[in-house]
Amino acid sequence: MIELRSVTCISEDGQNVLLELMKEGVTFRSSGVFRKHVMKQLARKIR
């Protein structure tokens, strides 16, 4: 599990890395509206 608590910004390149990690089965813990929104968008791309 990767903790994203201290992340304040996620670039497009960063989103691509997170997406690849998600495809590999890595799980994430995030809080905050922005981070949760980005993670939900990435999860939709996998489906």
Domain boundaries, the chain: 2-46
pTM over 0.75: yes
Q: With CA atoms as reference, report the closest residue to 10 among 38, 45, 46, 42.
A: 38
Ordered per-residue pLDDT tens for the chain, 47 residues? 999 988 889 999 999 999 999 999 999 998 889 899 999 999 999 87
| pLDDT for position 11 | 95
- Long-range interactions of 16-25: CB distance < 8 A, separation 24+: 18/42, 19/45, 19/46, 22/46
| pLDDT for position 38 | 92
